[in-house]
Amino acid sequence: MKTINLFLIACFFAFTASSCSILTSDDDKSSEDFRFVVGELLLDLEDGHTSDELDSLLADYELEQRGSFFPGYRILVPENEEKKWAEQLEKEEIIHSTHLNRFGYGYKLVEDDGLPYIKNDSLYVWTVYSGCSAGHDFTLQYTRTGSSSFEVWLFKENGEDCFAVVGDKNRLFKIPDEIKNAQSITLIQPINDHIELKN
């Protein structure tokens, strides 16, 4: 089963690998209080709708796809208008959800062999992405969602225009002191899947 899952992910990345320029909101956090790719949205479609339908819709708005971000799409929008466009596009019948790209370059987390999990002060994950080599840089990001609850996710810092698929099993990320004793920690996987790590 693991081999089939990795093969399917490999096929997907082989058709969607593309280079992109990552910009961050470090200088302007007016839209959200977390890091995201400026001028880019992630969206997924309602069941039964196609990429061609999305292209037609985007043409009406004079927007375009930047490529795929498994399991959704990366959309170019005017900088500093990301939140406005996210709200507008989410009203469309064919679109299931739209989000700021807080994940950076494309990747997938594998849920297998007990991963992902938290042990002591570390998060262990299995990352899969397209690239020429393993060991790509990720940064653990987080936001508070309640008095003792947090969401965490990974921001992939770089990409390589390669058709190979790399799997890094048991990647370790130190959890900040601020959240390691939280009652609830949820891992957000692209595009917006939730994995309860601690509840």
Side-chain half-sphere CA neighbours of 113 within 13 A = 10
What is the per-residue pLDDT across 55-66, written as a single tens digit (0 to 9) for each?
999 999 999 998
**What's the rounded mean pLDDT across residues 89-106?**
94
* Structural domains of the chain, with CATH: 21-100 (3.30.70), 108-198 (no CATH)
16 vs 175: which has the higher pLDDT: 175
Q: Quote the CA–CA distance of 53 and 31 in Å, as a whole number.
A: 28
- pLDDT at residue 187 is higher than 80: yes
Long-range pairs for 32-35: beta carbons < 8 A, 24 or more residues apart: 32/83, 32/100, 32/102, 33/143, 34/102, 34/141, 34/143, 35/102, 35/141, 35/155
Question: What is the pLDDT at residue 18?
Answer: 40
Confidence of residue 1 (pLDDT cuts 50, 70, 90): low
Q: Quote the CA–CA distance of 174 and 72 in Å, as a whole number.
A: 28
Q: Quote the CA–CA distance of 169 and 186 in Å, as a whole number.
A: 20
Question: Do 99 and 86 meet the contact criterion of CB atoms below 8 Å apart?
Answer: yes
- pLDDT at residue 19 is higher than 60: no
Question: What is the pLDDT at residue 47?
Answer: 94
What is the per-residue pLDDT across 108-161, written as a single tens digit (0 to 9) for each?
999 998 999 999 899 999 999 988 888 899 999 999 999 999 999 999 998 887
Q: Which residues lie below 8 Å from residue 127, measured CB to CB, with a gap of 6+?
A: 107, 108, 109, 110, 136, 138, 154, 167, 168, 171
Confidence of residue 4 (pLDDT cuts 50, 70, 90): very low
Q: Quote the CA–CA distance of 165 and 127 in Å, as a whole number.
A: 10
What is the per-residue pLDDT across 42-91, written as a single tens digit (0 to 9) for each?
999 999 999 999 999 999 999 999 888 877 899 999 999 999 999 999 99
14 vs 94: which has the higher pLDDT: 94
